[in-house]
Amino acid sequence: MPTNHLQHALHNEKACLYLQETNEFKDWIITTAFYSTLHYILLSIKYFL
């Protein structure tokens, strides 16, 4: 299980890319893309503010 924002972002991005390849569960593609982006943003805030 991911333990920090970078690991969460990469984990969700990997899931998103996998789901895109299968072209199924389009709602989960959007969800994993959202959460990946959220964790990248939180990581940026943590390091740049």
State pTM to two decimals.
Answer: 0.85
Domain residue spans of the chain: 5-48
Residue 2: predicted pLDDT: 64
Residues 6+ apart with CB under 8 A from 2: 8, 10, 11
Amino acid 23 reads N
In angstroms, the Cα distances linking 14 to 5, 45, 46, 47, 49 are 14, 22, 22, 23, 27
pLDDT higher than threshold 70 for residue 1: no
Structure confidence by residue, pLDDT tens digits, 2-39: 679 999 999 999 999 999 999 999 999 999 999 999 99
Mean pLDDT of 39-49: 90
The pLDDT assigned to 48 comes to 83
